[in-house]
């Protein structure tokens, strides 16, 4: 049984929480952020909390807008159940990936990793339901790839919403895209032929 309201609700609640926490006391932000030493000490809630806290309200609003727009696209075009579970697993996977791939990263905050995952899901979903838009989607994908390369080289710092002393963690975006692709692969394998038909009809 498909429940299209649930993915929208999951995306909306996560985005709203991220924006609300941007105005929370600093102690809360420190308690939730990705802190390498603290995670290795056993404070595992930070694997999820890091995606909900930000360094500035501007960063939180930009991330939440991209996440909610892409999430709504993805939810509308893909439908599907277990969005909460998917988001939880994606968040933990991105944080664990950062723990492994970025040993110099001492602290991380931001929803953009998860937003990357939903961007990729939205792209695949739109491409499947509206084949005419595939060329445009490819252009968007190339533009995002170039932006990620620019972030990695430190060329796009002026475009960012981060305060001084904080770098854009491009690996979170790359990990998010990989997690999104994995999410899509698992979902597409588990969907029944009937559900696929319903999605195509809804699209």
Partner 1 sequence: MTILKLLAAGLLAALLGACASAFPHRDVKHSGSIVDYLFPNAQEAPQMTPGVTYLRPPVRVGLAFVPSSKRTPSYTASLAEAEKIKLLEQVKAAFSKHAYIGSIEVIPTQYLRPAGGFENLEQVARMFNVDVMAMVSYDQVQFNDSNALAFLYWTIVGAYVIHGDQYDVQTMLDISVFDVASHKLLFRAPGVSQVKGGASLANFSERSRAAQVEGYGRAAEQLIPQLQSELDNFKERIKTDAAFRVENRAGYRGGGAFSGFELALLLVLAGVMWRRAHVAARPA
C-alpha torsion 149→150→152→158, nearest 10 = -160
- Shortest CB 116 distance to partner 1, Å: 8
- Shortest CB 3 distance to partner 1, Å: 23
Specify the residue, 85 or 135, whose C-beta has the smaller distance to partner 1: 135
Specify the residue, 55 or 83, whose C-beta has the smaller distance to partner 1: 55
- Residue 4 and residue 200 in contact, taking contact as beta carbons nearer than 8 Å: no
Specify the residue, 25 or 42, whose C-beta has the smaller distance to partner 1: 25
- Shortest CB 145 distance to partner 1, Å: 12
List residues near partner 1 by CB under 8 A: 25-27, 30, 36, 51, 54-56, 59, 62-63, 65-66, 69-70, 73, 98, 102, 104-113, 115, 119, 126, 130, 132-133, 136-137, 140, 143-144, 147, 156, 159-169, 171-173, 176
- Residue 66 and residue 112 in contact, taking contact as beta carbons nearer than 8 Å: yes
The candidate with the shortest Cα–Cα distance to 18, out of 72, 48, 47, 54, is: 54
- Shortest CB 106 distance to partner 1, Å: 4
The candidate with the shortest Cα–Cα distance to 175, out of 119, 91, 103, 113, is: 113
Specify the residue, 24 or 198, whose C-beta has the smaller distance to partner 1: 24
Which region holds residue 81: left if phi is over 0, alpha if psi is between -120 and 50, else beta? beta
d(CA 203, CA 191): 16
- Shortest CB 92 distance to partner 1, Å: 15
H or E segment and range at residue 50: none
Specify the residue, 46 or 109, whose C-beta has the smaller distance to partner 1: 109
């Amino acid at each position: 049984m498909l429940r299209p309201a649930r993915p929208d609700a999951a995306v909306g609640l996560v985005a709203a929480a991220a924006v609300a926490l941007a105005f929370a006391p600093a102690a809360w932000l420190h308690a939730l952020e990705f802190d390498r030493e603290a995670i290795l000490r056993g404070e595992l809630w930070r694997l999820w909390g890091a995606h909900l806290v930000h360094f500035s309200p501007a960063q939180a609003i930009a991330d939440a807008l991209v996440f909610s727009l892409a999430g709504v696209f993805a939810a509308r075009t893909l439908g599907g159940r277990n969005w909460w579970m998917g988001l939880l697993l994606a968040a933990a996977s991105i944080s664990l990936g950062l723990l492994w791939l970025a040993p110099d990263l001492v602290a991380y905050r931001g929803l953009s990793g998860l937003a990357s995952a939903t961007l990729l899901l939205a792209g695949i979903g739109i491409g499947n339901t509206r084949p005419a838009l595939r060329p445009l989607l490819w252009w968007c994908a190339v533009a995002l790839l170039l932006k990620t390369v620019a972030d990695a080289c430190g060329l796009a710092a002026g475009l960012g919403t981060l305060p001084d002393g904080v770098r854009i963690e491009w690996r979170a975006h790359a990990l998010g895209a990989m997690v999104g692709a994995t999410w899509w692969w698992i979902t597409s394998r588990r969907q029944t032929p009937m559900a696929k038909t319903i999605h195509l009809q809804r699209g």
